[in-house]
Structure 1
Amino acid sequence: MVVPMRMSVLSSLAAACLALAGCPAAAGDNVIVTSPTPQITEVTVTDEATFNEPWAMTFLPGSAYALITEKAGKLKLWRKDRPVRDVAGAPAVAYGGQGGFGDVVPAPDYRTSRMIYLSWVEAGINDTRGAVVGRAKLDLAAAGGPRLVGLKVIWRQGPKLQGEGHFSHRIAFSPDGQYMFVSSGERQRFTPAQNLKVNLGKILRLLPDGRPAPGNPFADKPGAGRQIWSYGHRNALGLAFDTKGQLWDLEHGPKGGDELNFVKPGKNYGWPLVSNGDNYDGTPIPRHATRPDLEAPAISWNPVIAPGDLIFYKGNLFPGWKGHAICTGMVAQALVRVATSGERGEEIERIPLGSRIREIKEAPDGSLYILEDGSGGRLRRIVPAKAGS
């Protein structure tokens, strides 16, 4: 199914409104987008496949295949115009609420090692749960079909807690392949995000085998402190490097205040001390502007977009998008394009897609693939309208 989506180029008046809504700020200012920006780019959307609660996707380097996780615990192998296949050997997951199967990322040396990294939620004692990261070899030629071989957990979120929210568990490798970054949510407990003795509410920098990376900013602190790259995070579901090799995260705020952050080592991003949103019960939270000693987001959204994932576009198919952040919105039901400058961001446009968008990945040809959230979530390919399908 091919769905053309077209809107005309902005008029000068609309462009002026855009500038007011999301103009770049001076250093130290905090840009808050309070209304969606108009659509500029004309796109064509093609439906490719359907999955059950898909969560993450990755293209396998040097092949025509992609892997897709389904939240209840299935790992799927997809290739255009071929039947979707199950990958055997996937881990048992603690499924429920926000918990289940999470991210999937090829190792930096996948072409030779065939190793992939996975995140999921595992059960603990007394009805507790926590996210983990594991790695395994992917055997696409195994007898009986594709399978994971030698799956081993290399990192655990801790402590395990009751509840089924804010696991985060996104994975991103540094451009040089030497370090693995993992987002670890604060499990809806607020205060762990400020506690350097636990790895909740943090961005972590690890070696590819899961050990704390040497030279981390709190390496002199025992326990979880040795893993920590930055702290004061709530629920980071996007984690990506830009075209300059700089790390960014995209995270859910409370009732308002979703954030795109330029992530720097040793810095405190404020949760739950500050936010550009308020608690769900209506109690106010001090705004970022009240605490200049804490890191303010590059851009924040109120109302929320409810982010699913984040990429920085590197291809040529959308030439005007190169280097821009593309954020998925579940409540926004759109792709949100953000231009970054230094540590700040400007929302450029929203492309409405009419459904909750959980995941986005850039294909080798520069086209975009998105996964819808929930049961019957479609895999959809997006290209410029003039490029066809």
Structure 2
Amino acid sequence: MALAALAVAVSSTAQPAPQPRTVASGLVNPWGLAFLPDGRFLVTERPGRLRVVGADGRIGAPVEGLPPIAAGGQGGLLDVVLDSGFAQNRKLYFCFSEPGPGGTNSTALARAVLAPDARRLTQTQVIFSQQPKVASRAHFGCRIAEAPDGRLFLTLGDRFSRSEDAQRLDNHLGKVVRVDKEGKAPPDNPFANRAGALPEIWSYGHRNMQGAAIGPDGQLWTHEHGAQGGDEINIDRAGRNYGWPVITHGVNYGGAPIGAGIQAKEGMEPPLQHWTPSIAPSGMAFLTSDRYGPAWKGSLFVGSLKFGYLDRIELKDGRVVREEKLLEAGRARIRDVRQGPDGLLYVLTDEEDGRLIRLQP
């Protein structure tokens, strides 16, 4: 793998690689994964279905109570996370492509309560909608992360055709937003008091972020798709401009430069890491358990859609020092990766016969 940002070693650890064990198969383009307290799994399917998967691999009927979804292209029912107080309130959050007038759509964030029988959602409410809505089937972003203070981060794509808007603060395209659990902008958001800026914006200058996680440092980490090359990992800080489409390590499809073809500019954040050629990253999780031994604890895991592997990334002093490719033999598009309550890693494969896989030490 070429990694122009740093001289990074790609190697294997001395310990035996964990073995993939299929928990469930027959999921249709699964996208997001959450863990219910009783040992079952909550899985979204991009065509617009939410499923409960048993520990025995049985896939339940679609959960009722979802809002209308503009499924098609890259859009549909996408990420899902449980509220930090789920054991008491049974609340969850999910994001999806929300239909609008005249064939438009945008990414939206909804809150709901999962009924005790887990067969339906109640009190479903859209608490945030990306503005403006655009006639596009691409670049929805749509990863959710709950911060330690209970605020919610949501990644929002530039919708492909509106990349220049990622540099403007009067819209939500190509942004990370930060809202409370009612969908309101906290008063300490970086642009909450700036005239002409939308108060929900946390950071801007992004392309299409399909990975987000709160790191052991308590900060938001994200990754995003470049165009042809230039996939990025970023530590996403308040008010920062991450450069798209002004600076990028990628080029347009076909090889033409993007903008001025520059990779750095004052006032814009360089990526912590970038992949060229693109791996098409999706899903992102830090391993905090020691289930795989001390060498893996603290590693960052990212799925590759393009090359069909799980990337284990070792970090030291905020820098990437080593990468290891896992699950290469399966060549399956890795859509999501999460650490379960048991401390083990689980991945979803984005296929019409998609699987939920556990990495067994």
C-alpha deviation, 1:140, in angstroms? 2.9
Aligned to 1:26: none
Contact 1:31 1:298 in 2 (8 A): no
Alignment of 1:13-162 (within 5 A): 30-31=5-6, 37-40=10-13, 42-50=17-25, 51-60=27-36, 62-81=37-56, 83-85=58-60, 86-141=62-117, 146-162=119-135
Amino acid of the structure 1 residue aligned with 2:100: G
Aligned to 2:265: 291
C-alpha deviation, 1:281, in angstroms? 3.5
C-alpha separation between the residues in 1 aligned to 2:89 and 2:346? 25
Structure 1 residue 354 corresponds to structure 2 residue 326:
no
Find 2:151's aligned residue among 179, 182, 197: 179
Aligned to 1:323: 298
Q: Deviations for 1:152-178, whole angstroms, at most 9, x for unmatched residues? A: 0000011000110001011100023x2
C-alpha separation between the residues in 2 aligned to 1:342 and 1:296? 17
CA distance 1:123–1:251, shift in 2 (3 Å): same
Aligned to 2:310: 335
C-alpha separation between the residues in 2 aligned to 1:290 and 1:159? 29
Amino acid of the structure 2 residue aligned with 1:316: D
Indicate the SS of the match to 1:135: strand
Aligned to 1:314: 288
C-alpha deviation, 1:39, in angstroms? 3.8
Structure-2-length-normalised TM-score: 0.92
Amino acid of the structure 1 residue aligned with 2:350: D
Amino acid of the structure 1 residue aligned with 2:206: H
C-alpha separation between the residues in 2 aligned to 1:128 and 1:32? 43
C-alpha separation between the residues in 2 aligned to 1:110 and 1:223? 36
Contact 1:217 1:266 in 2 (8 A): yes
Aligned to 2:191: 218
C-alpha deviation, 1:341, in angstroms? 3.6
Q: Which runs of 5+ in 2 are unaligned?
A: none
Indicate the SS of the match to 2:324: strand
C-alpha deviation, 1:262, in angstroms? 0.9
Structure-1-length-normalised TM-score: 0.86
Indicate the SS of the match to 2:10: coil
C-alpha separation between the residues in 1 aligned to 2:262 and 2:199? 27
C-alpha separation between the residues in 1 aligned to 2:97 and 2:341? 30
Amino acid of the structure 2 residue aligned with 1:251: E
Structure 1 residue 244 corresponds to structure 2 residue 221:
no
What is the number of equivalent residue pairs in this alignment? 352
Larger radius of gyration: 1
Indicate the SS of the match to 2:343: coil
Q: What RMSD over aligned residues (CA atoms) do the two structures have, in Å?
A: 1.9
C-alpha deviation, 1:342, in angstroms? 4.3
Amino acid of the structure 2 residue aligned with 1:318: Y
Contact 2:11 2:322 in 1 (8 A): no
Q: Which runs of 5+ in 1 are unaligned?
A: 1-17, 23-28, 385-389
CA distance 1:32–1:303, shift in 2 (3 Å): farther
Contact 1:32 1:299 in 2 (8 A): no
CA distance 1:161–1:289, shift in 2 (3 Å): closer
Contact 1:257 1:275 in 2 (8 A): yes
Amino acid of the structure 2 residue aligned with 1:263: D
Indicate the SS of the match to 1:112: helix
Indicate the SS of the match to 1:290: coil
Give the share of equivalent positions with the same residue, in percent.
Answer: 37
C-alpha deviation, 1:226, in angstroms? 0.7
C-alpha separation between the residues in 2 aligned to 1:289 and 1:277? 9
C-alpha separation between the residues in 2 aligned to 1:349 and 1:364? 24
C-alpha deviation, 1:43, in angstroms? 1.6
Alignment of 1:247-286 (within 5 A): 247-285=220-258, 286=260
